[in-house]
């Protein structure tokens, strides 16, 4: 399923994260339309190809686990509860996950190609989502939290104290107790391809720098 799914499109968020767009993307307000000439060219299959310069800049940022070659094409901004999914299993390569708490976007990659993207929920101030790289420790299709007495479908546990990616009712104003909540249908798709040991990188990207204004 590919749904038009309040975060910036992943291609824009990616370029913002590596400093190629100046506009700050916020999931609770509209984002300015980026300049069309800054967007990387589309691939023949509709994917967005990154230039060599963009790939080098992303690698230098230290917020990506692997070299990124293509992103999913997104025509409009993603909204809470929406997601995109377009797997390319024939490309092979490692499956890994990137979560950016600033943009509230989770991206799934296979062999350098983005295959899934969703707007997510994350931990409230009282129980923040940890940053870092975490292997999936355990998977449970029909898990229920004994601590919070809540359904957590398609749980992929990341830490010993229970932080996990799982299906959730992703809506504006909601938060978790440290977990990453994704739309349940998206969580089901990720659950099928992720394995125990799959790496999940959780970052909080820096906001884009404001442009320098010359006064003389």
Chain Cα centroid distance, residue 197: 19
Residues annotated as catalytic are 166, 179
CB 87 within 8 Å of CB 109 = no
Chain Cα centroid distance, residue 190: 12
HSE of 93 in the Cβ direction (CA atoms, 13 Å)? Answer: 19
What phi and psi values does residue 188 have, to the nearest 5 degrees?
Answer: -65, -40
HSE of 175 in the Cβ direction (CA atoms, 13 Å)? Answer: 11
């Amino acid at each position: 399923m590919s749904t038009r799914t309040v975060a910036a499109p992943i291609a824009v968020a990616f370029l913002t994260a590596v400093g190629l767009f100046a506009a700050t993307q916020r999931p609770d307000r509209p984002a300015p339309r980026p300049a069309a000439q800054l967007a990387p060219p589309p691939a023949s299959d509709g994917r967005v190809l990154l230039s060599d310069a963009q790939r080098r800049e992303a690698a230098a940022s230290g917020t990506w686990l692997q070299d990124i070659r293509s992103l999913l094409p997104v025509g409009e901004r993603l909204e809470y509860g929406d997601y995109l999914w377009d797997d390319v299993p024939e490309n092979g390569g490692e499956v890994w996950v990137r979560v950016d708490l600033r943009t509230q976007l989770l991206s799934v990659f296979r062999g350098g190609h983005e295959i899934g993207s969703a707007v997510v929920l994350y931990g409230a101030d009282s129980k923040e989502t940890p940053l870092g790289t975490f292997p999936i420790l355990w998977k449970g299709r029909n898990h229920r939290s004994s601590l919070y007495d809540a359904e957590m479908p398609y749980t992929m546990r990341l830490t010993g104290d229970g932080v996990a990616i799982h299906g959730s009712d992703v809506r504006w104003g909601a938060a978790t107790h440290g977990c990453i909540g994704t739309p349940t249908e998206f969580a089901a798709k990720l659950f099928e391809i992720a394995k125990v040991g799959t790496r999940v990188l959780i970052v909080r990207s820096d906001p884009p720098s404001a442009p320098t204004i010359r006064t003389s």
